[in-house]
Amino acid sequence: MKDRVVVVAGALYDKGRLLAARRSAPAELAGRWELPGGKLEPGESPEQALVRELREELGVETEPVARIPGEWPLKPGYVLQVWTARLVSGEPEPLEDHDALRWLAPHETDAVDWLDQDRPAVAEAARLLRER
C-alpha cells in the first residue's frame, strides 16, 4: 500500500534500560514521551530509516534487533511500527524533536507520560527488557 506513511520508532536498549524521549513539538504532543523515530523516506527500508532517524535525532549509531509485532494507527494515513534496537556507539543527546531523554530501568518504564499510540509497543518492549 503506497498511500500510507510508515513511521518507524526504536525501543533503544542499553545496559538493561530503555530510552524514552520527550517531544518538544508540535504543541499537541510537546511534553509527552515517545520512542524516538520518524517517517520512512522513499527507497528506504524500515531498518535503514530507523538507523538514520536515531542518528539525526540523538547522534548515536544503533543496530535494529527485531520488529515488535503489530502496527499502530497515528493520524489518518500514518502507521507506527516499532523495532527494538541496541546502542552501538555514542551517548544519546536531544538534538532534534526532543527536549529531554531518560534511560528507564525495567521497573521504571511506566514512569513517564508516553504518547497513547506508543503505549502498546512500550509495554511489549518493557516485557522483553525484563526477560533479558
Q: Kindly determine how many residues on this chain lie close enough to bind ligand CDP according to the rule CB under 6 A.
A: 14
112 makes contact with ligand CDP (CB under 6 A): no
Q: What is the CA radius of gyration of the chain?
A: 14
80 makes contact with ligand CDP (CB under 6 A): yes
Q: How far is the CB of 100 from ligand CDP (least distance, A)?
A: 15
Q: DSSP letters along 63-96, please? A: EEEEEEEEEEE-STTEEEEEEEEEEEES-----S
How far apart (Å, rounded) are the C-alpha atoms in residues 104 and 6?
Answer: 26
Q: How far is the CB of 44 from ligand CDP (least distance, A)?
A: 11
The mark string for 6-35 relative to ligand CDP (x by CB under 6 A, - otherwise) is -x-x-------------------x----xx
Give exposure, 4-29, as e/b (b: 16+ Cβ within 10 Å).
Answer: eebbbbbbbbbeebbbbbbbeeeeee
CB closer to ligand CDP out of 84 and 117: 117
Q: Which amino acid is at 60?
A: V
Q: Of 106, 83, 104, 90, which Cα lies nearest the Cα of 36?
A: 83
115 makes contact with ligand CDP (CB under 6 A): yes
Give the residue, chosen from 117, 122, 125, 129, that forms a contact with ligand CDP under the rule CB under 6 A.
Answer: 117
Q: Minimal CB distance to ligand CDP: which residue?
A: 38
Contact positions vs ligand CDP (CB under 6 A): 7, 9, 29, 34-35, 37-39, 74, 80, 97, 115, 117-118
